[in-house]
Amino acid sequence: MAPVRTTSAIVVATATISISMAVFSYFLFFKKITSTLHSGKKKKPGNGIVDAIGNTPLIRINSLSEATGCEILGKCEFLNPGGSVKDRVAVKIIEEALESGDLAPGGVVTEGSAGSTAISLATVAPAYGCKCHVVIPDDVAIEKSQILEALGATVERVRPVSITHKDHYVNIARRRALEANELAAKNKKARQVDDKDLDRMNDCILDQEKENPGFLSHCNGGFFADQFENLANFRAHYEHTGPEIWEQTGGSLDAFVAAAGTGGTVAGVSKFLQEKSPKIKCFLIDPPGSGLFNKVTRGVMYTKEEAEGRRLRNPFDTITEGIGINRLTQNFMMAKLDGAFQGTDKEAVEMSRFLLKNDGLFLGSSSAMNCVGAVRVAKALGPGHTIVTIICDSGMRHLSKFYDAKYLSQYGLTPMATGLEFMSIK
């Protein structure tokens, strides 16, 4: 019987030690947590709205991941204060301009934009003591100009024309910055004249202000943001978005895909990721009417007949906004791409409804196209890969077009899919 008692004693002793260690570990852990909570080491509050920009979550898009056998992850840029990935660009452009002296506090930032960059500039400009003037095509969703005006920006809506036309929205925005600088110089000269000439000069300035847009009054010069060619756009993503994706995935990703408008996002992220690991494949997803797919895959953007300089109307045959272009920008030329895919408006519309129904993701048109691209990449690489894309903005800015049933029906784009059959996935 003695051996039995010995065995029982050992079991009891072992159990007692295990319980004691568990209790000790619990109290040690609890003490550590309690000590941390009451240590006084609190995280400092962010310095205004600018510090709330970036470090957005990276989420698994469950429905697409399960359908493809890949891990498809979306960077939630719609959670930035201004509601889009362009908040990063706005901050970088304004900060670099202030640092260089090209923009003065109290000055006006002008930009030609299809909406998101303009909204971001209007959101952050007041944080730097600046104003914002935006020129946008008159065919973009009306809610975008309404948001801009609510944010305090002045808005010019102009008809879409080729970039080579003097009245293209980008060219008008550039002129507005020059006009603001000219008026600021005249105002400065007026303040330097003798008192006897002051009234005469003031009368002259008032007359000049009547001839110019209201935003030019009482501003300390102008600065054209130039999001298409200003490499601050690229740097915003090379220095921040790319590193965030690398850190959030622990460097364990196989591919990145995104559409391009200015090209800043796809360029900055692709260049950073491929410098970290050349094994990471980076791709473009291009909407209808854009020439970037041809440039990436064939080395030729367009035929002579398709050249944007020869077009007299809006060159894009797509309802997506903010993506697709028929010229090479300085930002896009920084991209490191392994290939490109084409998406259709029908796929983008169907994808947006599929993700809303299955994941609760309410996406804008460019975000939906990016998700189309993610599925394209997943099918090309096969199951077992990790693919990252950008969820640029939400559907809140696309209600009057991309989410309007009557508008979509005019173009034969009424969503009808019940699953992912529009991507040839059963």
Structural element, H or E, at residue 387: strand 386-391
User: What is the structure's pLDDT at 42?
Assistant: 65
Identify any residues that bridge with 342 across adjacent strands, giving them in sequence order. Answer: 286
pLDDT-derived band at 11, boundaries 50, 70, 90: very low
pLDDT tens string 328-376: 999 999 999 999 999 999 999 999 999 999 999 999 999 999 999 999 9
302's tokens? 């367009």
318's tokens? 């797509």
> CA 415: distance to chain centroid?
25
User: What is the structure's pLDDT at 140?
Assistant: 83
Q: Which region among 108-117, 171-180, 381-390 has the lowest average model confidence (pLDDT)?
A: 108-117
CB atoms within 10 A of CB 139: 15
pLDDT-derived band at 398, boundaries 50, 70, 90: very high
100, pLDDT greater than 60: yes
Mean pLDDT of 374-379: 98
- What domains does the chain contain, in order, with CATH numbers? 50-79+241-303+317-423 (3.40.50.1100), 85-194+216-224 (3.40.50.1100)
* Mean of the per-residue pLDDT values of the chain: 85
Of how many residues is the chain composed? 426
46, pLDDT greater than 50: yes
- In sequence order, the 6+-apart residues with CB closer than 8 A to the CB of 95 are 128
pTM, rounded to two decimals: 0.83
pLDDT tens string 29-44: 444 334 444 445 566 7
CB atoms within 10 A of CB 413: 18
pLDDT-derived band at 5, boundaries 50, 70, 90: very low
162, pLDDT greater than 70: yes
Cβ atoms of 241 and 85 within 8 Å: the answer is yes
144, pLDDT greater than 90: no
Q: 206: number of CA atoms within 13 Å, CB side? A: 6
Residue tagged 């997803």 (tokens): 285
User: What is the structure's pLDDT at 217?
Assistant: 59
Mean pLDDT of 76-92: 97
Secondary structure (DSSP) of 223-235? EE--TTT-THHHH
User: What is the structure's pLDDT at 378?
Assistant: 98
pLDDT tens string 192-205: 655 545 444 444 34
**Strands 58-60 and 71-76, bridge-based pairing:** antiparallel
Helix (H, G, I), strand (E, B) or coil at 289: coil
Alpha helices by DSSP H, 164-194? 169-192
Which residue type is seen at 308? Answer: E
379, pLDDT greater than 90: yes
Cα separation, 23 vs 30, in Å, equals 10
Cβ atoms of 343 and 372 within 8 Å: the answer is yes
pLDDT tens string 165-183: 999 999 999 999 999 998 8
Cα separation, 41 vs 57, in Å, equals 24
Secondary structure (DSSP) of 12-54? HHHHHHHHHHHHHHHHHHHHHHHHHHTSS-PPPPPSTGGGGSS
User: What is the structure's pLDDT at 141?
Assistant: 83
Q: Would the CA dihedral through 120, 121, 123, 127 be positive or negative?
A: positive
pLDDT-derived band at 216, boundaries 50, 70, 90: low
The percentage of the chain sitting over the pLDDT mark of 70, rounded to a whole number, equals 80
Greater pLDDT, 321 or 86 = 86
